[in-house]
Amino acid sequence: MSEGQVYDLIIIGGGPAGLTAGIYATRAKLDTLLFDRLNPGGLVASTDWVENYPGFPEGITGAELMKKMEEQAIKFGLKIMPFKEVHSAHFKGRIKIIRVDNEEYKAKAVILASGTEPKKLNIPGEEKFKGKGVSYCATCDGPFFKDKDIVMIGGGSSGIQEGLYLTRFVKSISVIEFMPHLNAEKILQERAKKQPKFKFFLNHMVTSINGENQIESVTIKSRQTNQEKTIPAQGVFVYVGWNPKTEFLKGQVDLDRWGYVIAGGDTKTSVPGVFAAGDVRQKTLRQITTATADGAVSAFMAEKYIEEQKSSTD
């Protein structure tokens, strides 16, 4: 970074929302910098198959879709800095300050697109076997469980979708769902119920992941009868929801009680010049389509804000 350089716009997060914002912002000729704590792509990049994103009737892998978005953004001039996690921010002044790796970056406007990360179970055995049989990414780790019995915790769309992917590797999948019914999209439920490798334990909760040097079993408890049973398993995949990546925003913008950024459909936060897009924003539906829509809106609103600020100082 050049000493004293002020970008027009800084985007925090390189998922669908951040990359779409980057495309719109750079096409509007805004000098734009994007930070991502990993490689751009977000959670979508680790998704095996996407079939509800418009324009791909046969479906597309999450990694390929996000690569196309990244290439498109770079084509228009977006500057991307991967493996750069934002540790703190100062949004109160006219110029916004972002701190990354002991360096300060400045911008006239900021788009928050930092997304979410998987929730943890916080039960015995989870931390012990994290990365050694406990996984939060079926696409990343599925091949390691060839011909194994595994447990999938969570019956929402993410869990069932990734469970369907795992059927190409594993011997069996026991789905443990806290509610008395699955919450996945109906089409995914239908596919899973037709798949002989699936077993379903509805209205159950997981109480422990067991084993000495590797996972040997999982203990579950019925929420109706409180009766416990042990399921033999060599792997556990956790899909029980998400936490927003907003630790660095506390005291800077208004957050709801779950930590999501409070912003309406116009993506405006409680601080002028700061906008929120994608899964990090308080919203009803978190999908790739809604993230890209937020990205487009946030970039437009940022451009408008910058022009208004320029006019007020002329």
**Which tens digit of pLDDT belongs to each residue from 194-222?**
999 999 999 999 999 999 999 999 999 99
Please state the rounded mean pLDDT for residues 279-301: 95
Tokens of 237: 């995949």
Does position 1 have pLDDT exceeding 60, yes or no?
A: no
Write down the pTM of the prediction: 0.83
- Pick among 3.50.30.50, 1.10.645.10, 3.40.50.11890, 3.50.50.60: CATH of 6-117+242-313: 3.50.50.60
Terminal Cα distance for the chain, rounded: 27
Catalytic residue list: 137, 140-141
Most confident segment among 43-47, 193-197, 306-310:
193-197
Chain-centroid distance of CA 242 in Å reads: 7
- Evaluate whether 112 touches 261 at the Cβ level (below 8 Å): yes
Q: CA-CA distance, 204 to 76, in Å (whole number)?
A: 50
Q: State the burial class of residue 296 (Cβ atoms within 10 Å of its Cβ: 0-12, 13-18, 19+).
A: middle
Q: For all residues of the chain together, what is the average pLDDT?
A: 94
Domain 120-238: assigned CATH number:
3.50.50.60
User: Which pLDDT score is estimated for 314?
Assistant: 58
Judge whether 6-117+242-313 and 120-238 match in fold. yes
Q: How far apart are CA 7 and CA 78, in angstroms?
A: 12
Residue 221, number of CB atoms within 10 A of its CB: 17
* Per-residue pLDDT, 4: 73
Domain-wise residue ranges, the chain? 6-117+242-313, 120-238
Q: Which range has the worst mean pLDDT, 38-47, 187-196, 235-244?
A: 38-47
Q: What is the CA radius of gyration of the chain?
A: 21
What span, in angstroms and rounded, lies between the C-alpha atoms of 86 and 111? 13
